[in-house]
Amino acid sequence: MFNSQKTAELCNKEKYILFIQWCKENGALISDEVQYPSAFGAQGYTGVSAKMNIPANKVIIAIPNKLIISHHKVLKSELSDMFKTHKQFFDDQITADAEFNCLALYIFYHKLQGDKSFWYPYLNVVEQHTMFEWRNRDLFNLQDQSLIDEFMYIQSEMDKSWYKFKGLMNKYPQYFGSLTEEQKDMFYWSNEFVMTRCFGWTLPSTSLVPMADMLNHSNTNPATYHLINRSIEQNGQPNNRYTLKRERIDLKLLELDFKVDPKYSIRNSQEAYIQTNKQLLVHEFEGQTSRDKINQINYNVLQLWKEKQAWELDFESSSQSEDNDTDSEDEDKVDKLSQIRKKELKILQEKNMKLDQQYTQKCQDIITSLIPKNAQYKQTQTNIQIKGKRTFEEDLEKDQDSSESSDDSEKDFDWYNDDDDQVYFCITTAGQIQQGEQIYTFYGRRNNRFLLLWYGFTMNNNKYNSFNLRLWLNPEPMAMNDQIYSKIIVTDIVNTSHLKLGQINGVPINQLSREIKLKGSKLQEDLIIYVRLFLMAYYIGQDANSILLTIPISIDFEIQVFDFTLKLLSYLAQRFKSPYQEDLNLNQNNLTCEEYFALNYRLGQKELILLQINHIMEALKLLRMLKQQPKLNIKEYFMQQSNSVEKIRALRYYIKYL
């Protein structure tokens, strides 16, 4: 929420006045509709807001090429001899960190110069609020030891980076002087600066863009950005692969007045879908979100067309779009599960649900493809020394900036050069923005864990949020009691002498455990598959030989699976230091920024677990009803209940195979 009092205080600060003046003196164009600095929330965090209503598809900020700090430009800067001499640090053909290293040292070099640097007004206005500034008490408030351990690992890597580059920079006293430990905090600051402010996706190279990087992140109605060549737009004759924007975007800020084609006023496929399906609506949609509208349309489709099933419809789900904080393990897992399901469906077709010993062996072959051999696992487990900390991956994910230009096809910049004074980096509204609203951009499909680790903040109602749960594969047989849940959850980090390059005693940690990401509004299928696999060794029903991994076969076994999963999730929910309702009732106005983001993070984690618990309980109700009434019409069962849209949406892929 816009904080007018703190906004007025910010606007009177000299550093903001000088920064805006510096931007404009160097050719930046900032619409009169835009207010910077603006303050938001009780904490008064800084961002950009709308002074008045702003229509969609309009350029509101245009930063000239001169003010863009790109990797390509930095390579040609006064530090070029250092970059060329030490290619092991600065050549992107040798190291994936080359662009980051170049930009971070360039910023550090100019930070050392103080107000003598051309970039001083820009560097001086930025305040860092990442986890590096958090106190131990703030970290404890996260109530997530695995996240704290991961941050401590990042911090230790930053320390290593300082000593590595300090030695290198001391070879160039003409640029950096004689560095001591006193400059360590400034080095940290420079790394954080690049880490939190870069644009990368759909640009010629990773870049820092003053003023454009003052917009905060949101998944809801974010502005987008484009590189726009004013001369080409004026002439209307694109060179090479440049895509004209003048029919899609209002370019008046660049003194270009062309009529925008009305067809671009429908800003995305969701709204287009709603427009196309208006005749299906039986309720007015005033005040509803796009997701609510689409879900309601699909509910009406199910009512009108009896032959339609829930899994055939595209419900808009908070977890429908995966976050892009994934690695090859996640992609391989999805692909492997898809292959297993195809094999299991083929098995069912071949034997019409009557699995003899030959087909049971096929199922076992499928299972062994998922897990390591027992002997290898047992040997590794024997050698592991548990140290009482929690597990994280040693090879942390690299930050791949995913801010999206609206023209994904324009990725070949053969029309661009670093010295072209006709090129502007333009922030463009995607949807209408109301007076007083914050103007956001989009950093990518990031969960709150990633946002906190790499940017220092979290988001309310983050549709890409997830709860990371790592479970041991193929654990030793154990008594089925309350202690079993702690024994299958990977809660301890092994001795660092055993954990090297993501391996434990030479065995990749991904072969010993499986990471499962609990998402918001759908039943987490891979968690159910894991529990099926785990409980196969305990199930003694008459249909035990018929059990499959990806397809529910036995109602009795499925009830056991969902009951076990419910208890596992309840165990996770009880591990937090403070109850969910207590956190929900806290007065957020009295919190510091660190306390607020820690609260927001742990609330999000608890909510994801509670949502999964709700989905599991609904599935259990259905399974018990099916046990009593084997011929139950599942679609009619849900349509007669309250909140049927939410329930169908969450379970639609599970009930497809029931």
What is the tens place of the pLDDT at every residue in 124-167? 999 878 888 888 889 999 999 888 888 888 888 899 999 999 99
Whether residues 409 and 386 fall in one domain: no
Asked if the structure places residue 435 within a domain, the reply is yes
Where is pLDDT greater, at 623 or 380? Answer: 623
The C-alpha atoms of residue 151 and residue 141 are separated, in whole angstroms, by 14
Burial (CB count within 10 angstroms: exposed 0-12, middle 13-18, buried 19+), residue 300: middle
Sign of CA dihedral 270, 214, 422, 432: positive
Whether residues 388 and 407 fall in one domain: no
Whether residues 619 and 650 fall in one domain: yes
Whether residues 273 and 366 fall in one domain: no
Asked if the structure places residue 141 within a domain, the reply is yes
Whether residues 28 and 71 fall in one domain: yes
Q: Considering its fold, how many domains does the chain have in total? A: 3
Mean pLDDT for the chain? 81
Asked if the structure places residue 279 within a domain, the reply is yes
Asked if the structure places residue 321 within a domain, the reply is no
CB 38 within 8 A of CB 438: yes
The C-alpha atoms of residue 547 and residue 557 are separated, in whole angstroms, by 8
The C-alpha atoms of residue 355 and residue 357 are separated, in whole angstroms, by 7
pLDDT(243) > 80? yes
CATH code at position 130: 3.90.1410.10
| pTM beyond 0.85 | no
Whether residues 492 and 343 fall in one domain: yes
CB 464 within 8 A of CB 445: yes
Most confident listed range (106-115, 349-358, 463-472) = 106-115
Asked if the structure places residue 56 within a domain, the reply is yes
169 lies in which domain range?
Answer: 4-234+402-454
Q: Which of 450, 512, 386, 400 is nearest to 154 (CA)?
A: 450
Strand ranges in 324-473 using DSSP code E only, listed in sequence order: 386-389, 423-428, 440-441, 467-472
pLDDT of residue 365: 55
Instruction: Show Cβ contacts of residue 136 under 8 Å, excluding neighbours closer than 6 positions.
Output: none
Q: Which of 220, 211, 196 is nearest to 457 (CA)?
A: 196
Whether residues 529 and 435 fall in one domain: no
Whether residues 384 and 406 fall in one domain: no
Whether residues 174 and 77 fall in one domain: yes
The C-alpha atoms of residue 519 and residue 117 are separated, in whole angstroms, by 46
Instruction: Show Cβ contacts of residue 307 under 8 Å, excluding neighbours closer than 6 positions.
Output: none
Most confident listed range (404-418, 421-435, 502-516, 640-654) = 421-435
Whether residues 531 and 614 fall in one domain: yes
Asked if the structure places residue 242 within a domain, the reply is no
Which residues does residue 470 pair with via DSSP β-bridges, in sequence order?
515
| pLDDT tens profile 411-467 | 578 889 889 999 999 999 988 999 999 999 998 889 999 999 999 999 988 989 999
Residues 125-163 as b/e (b if ≥16 CB within 10 A, e otherwise) read bbebbbbbebeeebbebbbbbbbbebbebbeeebeebbe
Whether residues 412 and 548 fall in one domain: no
Whether residues 299 and 429 fall in one domain: no
